[in-house]
Structure 1
Amino acid sequence: MEKHSNLLLKVSRRLFTNLDEQEKFIEALINPQPFPSTILWCQEKPEISPFAVEKPTYWQPQFIDRLQLGEKPGQHSLHEKGYFYCLDFSSVFAATTLLVIPQSVDLVFDMCAAPGGKSIFAWKALQPDLLISNEVIGKRLGMLISNLKRCHITPSAVVNRDSSIFAEIIPSSCNLVIVDAPCTGQSLLAKGEKAPGCFHPTAINKSANRQKRIIANSAKIVSPQGYLSYMTCTYSYEENEQVCEWFIERFPNFKAVEISNLEKYQSHLTTMPCYRMFPQDRLGAGAFTALFKNTNEDESNEVNLQPISSMYIYQNQKNSS
């Protein structure tokens, strides 16, 4: 952690003007404490939970349970049967913005989907007619397919292409596009994991440039009146608020949506509605999230998914065995 110290100090000063908050943030990363497990119920929750559950926060959905420290849900038989998916509570926070989207959703496209948590959250919250999960990194596909299959996520499909391909072949087609953007992963430190070089300016700038490219391509496949969700698991301003500010300058038809439930978490680094969780809050390792709406009026074009259906490497249809 010593290698990180000077760069971490710079990031903390950028994030917090208050010295006490800077110290709490740094302490949460240098001396990480365990966070309770969280589960997303894909199937009906049992009347009596098999786990000891924490009192829910005011913003978490009913299909989420934050468990008491020490519970090991991944070892339970219901996990193998696909009753629930294990995820970090920070991921729940980031995906909570999706709950404001009106329920009639035809198509959800998750651009950076592995291991599948945000895809599964969107499927559970919105019950779309079709969920398409894309993962550009080949070695992560097995994990994504395995999770969607185990949790009986139908109808769903998995594809493996660069975001630029979809911008070209299925423009203005998706009611919701999720961009859980690849980032420097600084919040891994709060979980006691390694993230080499995550505070280095070169790594941050490289990451931010990649994020801008992905969000720009993703915006092109959002339907009129559709939504784009942007989220990361990192702290740097350059990968979060700055990417969002760049995005709405480049795509003025998109407007950031206020999420009244998350008002307490509004980022103080911008006036745009976007929300942050920090590790010192002791709920999760940290996340950034923003939801944008495409204000363009419906051009009532018929969506043709044929070009993409030939790319499916996994498909799970309703009523299929």
Structure 2
Amino acid sequence: MEKPSNLLLKVSRCLFENADEQTKFIEALVNPQPFSPSILWCQDKPETSLFAVEAPTPWQPKFVDRLQIGEKPGQHPLHKQGYFYCLDFSSVFAASVLLTINQPVSLVFDMCAAPGGKSVFAWKALQPDLLISNEVIGKRLGMLISNLKRCQIQPSGVVHRDSSIFADMFSQSSHLVMVDAPCTGQSLLAKGEKAPGCFHHTSINKSANRQKRIIANSAQVVAPQGYLAYMTCTYSPEENEQVCEWFLQKFPQFQAVEVSYLSKYQSHLTHIPCYRMFPQDGLGAGAFTVLFKNMAEDKGEKVNLDHLISMCKYETLTKTA
């Protein structure tokens, strides 16, 4: 095994007390192995399977297939036609907390949406009356809009603003806000990609502070009895469990929701019900996920969805009747 950096060693010791687990984790990053691709079916599956499929995990939704290594779903003609969306299985794991929501969801707001996988997942899983996908980085907007159009995700709108704007504009309006937070991207290493400086404490602290600002703004968009999902694709506790602990102190009206079907993935770094996938598990490069519920009393106020659509700078698909 290639010699790991001192910073990677430090993170591995923060994550695992057991030396064997530390070694497996480091090995998964230093000598990355391929993971199975997965697809999310936006339209009904064909009766005859198009791909070689792996056995499903207990928490895997029926509208997702994990394919065998070597399959290339993005090259299939049905991909271009919007029948399915290709995404990492780690993203499926992170978004699977949404499956525990068992109440009608009128409005879903995806705060950090590009390229669109979590938006598509929420639309398929919850069938909201309206999906609003926000992306603050301008150069990523084209990909987001293209994916939502290709997959015929409607009714939906795309916006391009900082999260602070929505705390005022859309206050207490959304039944689900998703924050797939920008992070140091340490799991990119498990996919054989580069993430310069991802283990440096300066990068981690800068990322954690940005995540706290985004989740704080997002909390103000959540309607009473609504949900806030927080996810990352990184490993550092500062960007994950510690953000959650800070958030619950700052916003005591929220409670973390126990997701029973993810209990084996419970983070051992906190008592808060939040869940981790690690690359050495062999399913995906890694993810962190938690679902919060706003326990404030619901006063029955309805949200004007037409008004929200009119505020979208980039409307991808108009609201249907």
Q: The TM-score by the shorter chain falls in which range?
A: over 0.9
**Counterpart in 1 of 2:317?**
316
For residues 103 and 150 of structure 1, do their structure 2 counterparts lie closer, same or farther at Cα, with a shift above 3 Å needed? Answer: farther
Q: Unmatched 5+ residue regions in structure 1?
A: none
Residues paired across the two proteins, number? 320
Give the partner amino acid of 1:92: V
Letter in 1 for 2:84: F
1:110–1:179: 8 Å Cα contact kept in structure 2? Answer: yes
Q: Which residue of 1 aligns with 2:291?
A: 291
Q: Confirm whether residue 265 of structure 1 aligns to residue 265 of structure 2.
A: yes
Partner of 1:31: 31
Change beyond 3 A, Cα 1:106–1:198: same
CA contact (8 A) 1:94 1:287 kept: yes
CA deviations over 1:272-311 (Å, ceiling 9, x no partner): 0000000000000000000000000012234245366233
- Cα distance in 2, alignment partners of residues 307 and 125 from structure 1: 22
Corresponding residue of 2:200: 200
Secondary structure at the residue paired with 2:176?
Answer: strand
Separation in structure 1 between the aligned mates of residue 308 and residue 40 of structure 2, nearest angstrom: 32
Partner amino acid, structure 2, of 1:154: Q
Give 1:60-209 correspondences, 5 Å limit. 60-209=60-209
Cα distance in 1 for residues equivalent to 2:319 and 2:171:
26
Query: Partners of 2:222 and 2:3 in 1: how far apart?
Result: 41
- Call closer, same or farther: CA 1:48–1:103 in 2, change over 3 Å: farther
Letter of the 1:220 partner, please give it.
Q
SS at match of 1:131: strand
- Find the aligned partners of 1:307 and 1:157 in 2 and give their Cα distance: 9
TM-fit CA distance, 1:103: 4.3
Partner residue in 2 for 1:52: 52
Q: Distance in 1 between matches of 2:3 and 2:146?
A: 37
Q: Which blocks of at least 5 consecutive residues in structure 2 are unaligned?
A: none
Q: TM-score, normalised by structure 1?
A: 0.97
Give the TM-score normalised by structure 2. 0.97
- The answer to whether the 8 A contact 2:4-2:30 is kept is no
1:16, CA displacement in angstroms? Answer: 0.1
Helix, strand or coil: the match of 2:5? helix
User: Deviation digits for residues 134-186 of structure 1, max 9, x if unmatched?
Assistant: 00000000000000000000000000000000001111000000000000000
State whether residues 180 and 232 of structure 2, in contact with CA within 8 Å, keep that contact through their aligned partners in structure 1.
yes
Provide the rounded CA distance (Å) in 1 between the counterparts of 2:32 and 2:316.
39
- Distance 1:3-1:172 versus aligned 2 partners, 3 A rule: farther
> Deviation of residue 317 (structure 1)?
2.6
Counterpart CA distance in 1 for 2:3 and 2:245 is: 31
Q: Which runs of 4+ in 1 moved over 6 A?
A: 1-4
Q: Kindly state the Cα deviation for residue 104 of structure 1 after the two structures are TM-superposed.
A: 1.1
- Give the aligned residue type for 2:20: D
Offset at residue 20 of structure 1 (A) = 0.2
Q: For residues 315 and 27 of structure 2, what CA distance do their matches in structure 1 show?
A: 43
Which residue of the partner structure matches residue 14 of structure 1?
A: 14
Q: Which moved more, 1:20-29 or 1:96-105?
A: 96-105
Q: Is the 8 A contact 2:94 2:289 kept in 1?
A: yes
Alpha-carbon contact 1:87-1:117 (below 8 Å) kept = yes
Tell me if the contact between 2:4 and 2:26 (Cα under 8 Å) persists in the aligned partners: no
Structure 1: which amino acid aligns with 2:132?
A: I
2:276 maps to amino acid = R
Give the Å deviation of 1:4: 6.3
Q: 1:225 — aligned with what?
A: 225
Trace 1:299-310 onto structure 2 (pairs within 5 A). 299-304=299-304, 306=307, 309-310=310-311
Comparing 302-311 with 49-58, greater Cα deviation is found at 302-311
Shift of 1:49: 1.0
SS in 2 for 1:91: helix
* Structure 1 contact 171–222 (Cα < 8 Å) conserved: yes
- Say what the alpha-carbon RMSD is for the aligned residues: 1.5
The amino acid of 1:120's aligned partner reads V
